[in-house]
Amino acid sequence: MKCEKRERQILLAQSGELSAAAAREIEEHISQCPHCSDYRNSLEAVFAASGEALLSGVPSDRALHRIKIAALNHEDPQPITLFRPAVLALAAAAALVIAVGFWTMLPTGATSTTGDDLDTIIMMVQYEDAEEVATPAADRRKSVRELADELLSMEGFAVDEFSENEWFTSDEELPATGLRSRSNPDSQPRTCV
Amino acid sequence: MGNWGSMDTKDGELLARYRDGQVEALEQLVLRYRRPLFGFILNTVEGRDDADEIFQEVWYKVIRKSHLYKQKNFLGWLVRIARNTIIDRARKKKADVSLDAESESSGPLVQVIAGTGPDPGERLDSGELGKRISMAVDGLPHDQKEVFVMRVQAGLPFKEIAHVQGVSINTALARMQYAIAKLRPILKNDYADLCAQRTGRATA
């Protein structure tokens, strides 16, 4: 056996980890081997010197007191840890409830499939086409025309005498079309300064 | 601390008694292992204040995790908790360590732990030989120093040291061999005196 292995056996013998038979065997070897005998002696010398050289001592009384307080106050020797199965199951259940809650709170459109999305877009386009006929501008134009027709008929003019172009060439032409003169042919047309 | 029961009571039994509400059982364990545990911590971190804090922290963890104890060697369990606590603290300090200090042979975390050892000049009751040895021990690579301290100061068997370090028993033994090989030359001229001292103590 190599001396390196014997050295390990000497270390194990010193720590009391060899069987009785193995310890006897190594003792016999040491008695016959100068190298291993010297190794054992130096090992013991290192241990003796290091035991004194290394720092030693005891913890402070304050530390011991705090440990005692902690021991006294410790009511539950098995605290809830994050990785206990029951805690994990509880956490998973809570996460599931939250996820379902969010799912139900989402708008229907956001949860629809691609086909549903397409139907919605088509409906919106059709609705916009329908609305184009009665946009706010057209409504305003129509109501102005109706009002004008009403005024003309009140003044005794036939509505058909005026074309649409006369009414809506421009905003400034509307009073200059001579509504006053037409409504009162005797009066002079107003001249703008 | 209070009155202490028989030292023959097994560690597992004392821990079980503590779980049943007997605080004295835990106190007994604290007293039983305060020297080896504190010695290991003291030789691994910087200063007695830090060692005191880590010692407390170890026992707080024991109190919280006492139901997890399944090992045969209670001191080994304590040392393992202490080692993990020291590593956690070193990780927190790691940010303060310059990357420039990182050597090729050892990472920054190892340097933080190994580099926080006490100044050999501050050691108590150390003669010239003691200072030389302590300097040599501090100069050991972290893994070797840890094995050495666990064996010499805490008195842990190699099987337990291997378990604490998470290596095979052969690796732990090899680390100890390297450490001894580096310390032997320092003691070369002092063998005779040391052996004489040992013989004197043995016969006394």
> In the block, which residue shows the tokens 């990472």?
B107
Note whether B87 and B51 are same-domain residues. yes
Minimum distance, in Å, between the CA of residue A21 and any CA atom of chain B: 19
Domain span including residue B190: 123-204
Note whether B14 and B109 are same-domain residues. yes
Q: Mind spelling out the 3-state secondary structure of A84-147?
A: CHHHHHHHHHHHHHHHHHHHHHCCHHHHCCHHHHHHHHHHHHHHHHHHHHCCHHHHHHHHHHHH
Note whether B114 and B129 are same-domain residues. no
pLDDT at residue A75 above 60? Answer: no
List the single best residue of A7, A37, A50, A62 to mutate versus B (max B Cβ within 10 A): A50
> Which CATH number fits the domain that encloses residue B95?
1.10.1740.10
Tell me what the mean pLDDT of segment A19-36 comes to.
Answer: 93
Name the pLDDT band for B122 (thresholds 50, 70, 90). Answer: very low
The answer as to whether A74 is a domain residue is no
Q: How many domains does chain B have?
A: 2
At CB < 8 Å, which residues of chain A contact B? 4, 7-8, 11-12, 15-17, 41-60, 62-64, 66-68, 70-72, 74, 77-79
Determine the Cα–Cα distance for residues B181 and B119; give it in Å rounded to an integer. 23
Q: How many domains does chain A have?
A: 2
Domain span including residue A122: 108-185
The answer as to whether A82 is a domain residue is no
In sequence order, the 6+-apart residues with CB closer than 8 A to the CB of A192 are A176
pLDDT at B121: 40
**CA-wise closest residue to B85 among B65, B56, B115:** B56
- Are the beta carbons of B155 and B76 closer than 8 angstroms? no
Note whether A112 and A181 are same-domain residues. yes
- Are the beta carbons of B187 and A50 closer than 8 angstroms? no
pLDDT digits (tens, 9 = 90+) for A82-128: 566 777 888 889 999 998 888 887 766 554 455 666 676 666 666 65
Where is the domain boundary, B57, B85, B118?
B118
The answer as to whether A40 is a domain residue is yes
Note whether B57 and B132 are same-domain residues. no
Note whether B79 and B3 are same-domain residues. yes
Of the two residues A145 and A79, the one the predictor is more confident about is A145
Note whether B112 and B163 are same-domain residues. no
Q: Do A8 and B26 touch (CB under 8 A)?
A: no
pLDDT digits (tens, 9 = 90+) for B173-202: 999 999 999 888 877 766 666 666 655 655
ipTM: 0.74
Note whether B103 and B166 are same-domain residues. no
pTM value is 0.59
Where is the domain boundary, B90, B118, B146?
B118
Angle, helices B158-165/B142-152, rounded to nearest 10 degrees = 140
